[in-house]
A = this chain, B = another copy of it.
Amino acid sequence: MVTIKMVAERCGLSVGAVSKALNHQPGISPEKAAWVRQVAAEMRYHPNAAARTLKTSRSKNIGIIFENRLIHEFFSEVLEAVRACLTEKNYDMTFLNSRESQGMSYYEHAMQLQCDGVMVVHGRTRGALEELMNSDIPLVTIDHILYGHTAVVSDNADSFRKIIPYLVQMGHRRIAMVHGEDGDVTRLRVAGFHNACRECGLEIPEEYVLEARYHEPKDSGLATRKLLALKEPPTCILYPDDISILGGTTEIERQGLSVPEDICCFGYDGNRLSRLLRPSLATYRQNTERMGRVAAEELIQAIEDTKCYIPRIITVEGAVQPGDSVRQWDRGGKSGEEKQDHELSKE
């Protein structure tokens, strides 16, 4: 490994002088500094991260909290964007784990690694984050708000101000919501849903709102069954995410009905998957790329300009993504007739 000492020897200078040159610090003539940097580059010198960290207590390393298995496409996409941005800015990223076996918390892990900042892409438990929250390590969270820290969130509540009007415009008035398990995000979405419905003048009966865990098609299938069994079933069902829809459609088809002829389905997330499925999914597409990028930029700002940085909550808007799973309901759709049948048979 090539050290600064070797560079110094090669240049016939002291390590101190070389260090200044490398770090663009005053105390060395600009030309000589440039020459030193040239030589260092030729020698493929790169400062030893451990030594630098030890000395400066800054590691150029970001701790990532990502408990929610890498498999969830929404979070994977966000993480990918975070990574792209951090790479650009020359930060590394290391996964943090609260190794309970070792009796080490996230905070302690971050301290041990001297992380310059921590990004919470998805933390399973709130408690595990508390210690971090109260520390002075810069912290940015995604889709989760921790008091006093920057959060990048999708427009969970407001999204329904686009979704519901869209569905209403498509002719739906009996809209049901299958929502995920309780949590920040879920509560916002449910409230946003009710709000938007009220604004559109829709009455949503109690039994139209059901819970099903995120990413558990079986749960959604169950909820769907309950909805279909109602005296007055909905014409359109919202699901907690794009994968959950599959559970819903399976159940619908099992009952001899079909999507979107007999019932329409609307998802959430807008992963690549949603665009590939047949019928293609109508869903709310979150801007994961932007969320990740913004979060990374904020974190770096919080790190590099700590004095001036003011934590804030940044909302990244998504957009309705139309698709085959929602059809025009009342006005002369190609299957307007069929729908009449269905409605009558149910009433």
Interface residues of A, Cβ cutoff 8 Å to B? 1, 41, 44, 46-51, 53-54, 59, 61, 69-71, 73, 76-77, 79-80, 83, 87-88, 90, 92-95, 97, 99, 101-104, 108, 111-114, 217, 243, 246-247, 249-250, 253, 272-273, 276-278
Contacts and interface: CB of A to CB of B under 8 A. Distances in A.
10 contacts: A48-B114, A49-B112, A54-B54, A70-B76, A70-B80, A92-B94, A93-B94, A94-B94, A217-B276, A277-B277
A102 B90 contact: yes
A145 to B, nearest CB: 24
Given A49-B50, A50-B54, A87-B97, 12 more contacts: A44-B108, A46-B104, A46-B108, A61-B94, A69-B80, A70-B80, A70-B83, A71-B77, A83-B95, A94-B94, A243-B276, A253-B278
Nearest to A2: B111
B87 A76 contact: no
A12 B1 CA distance: 39
Q: Which of A50, A77, A99, A273 has the most CB of B within 10 A?
A: A50
A150 to B, nearest CB: 22
A1 B247 CA distance: 50
Contacts of A80: 69-71
Nearest to A103: B41
A113 B92 contact: yes
Contacts of A94: 61, 92-94
A289 to B, nearest CB: 11
A136 to B, nearest CB: 12
Contacts of A77: 70-71
A92 B71 CA distance: 20
Nearest to A112: B46
Contacts of A71: 73, 76-77, 80, 272
Contact of A95 (B49, B92, B108): B92
**Which of A73, A102, A112, A243 has the most B CB atoms < 10 Å from its CB?**
A112
Nearest to A76: B70
Contacts of A1: 111
Contacts of A47: 112
| Most B Cβ at <10 Å: residue of A59, A76, A80, A101 | A76
A46 B110 CA distance: 11
User: Which 9 pairs between the two chains have the least Cβ-Cβ distance?
Assistant: A50-B53, A50-B54, A70-B76, A94-B94, A246-B276, A46-B112, A50-B50, A70-B80, A87-B97
A90 B99 contact: yes
Contacts of A90: 99, 102
Contacts of A41: 103
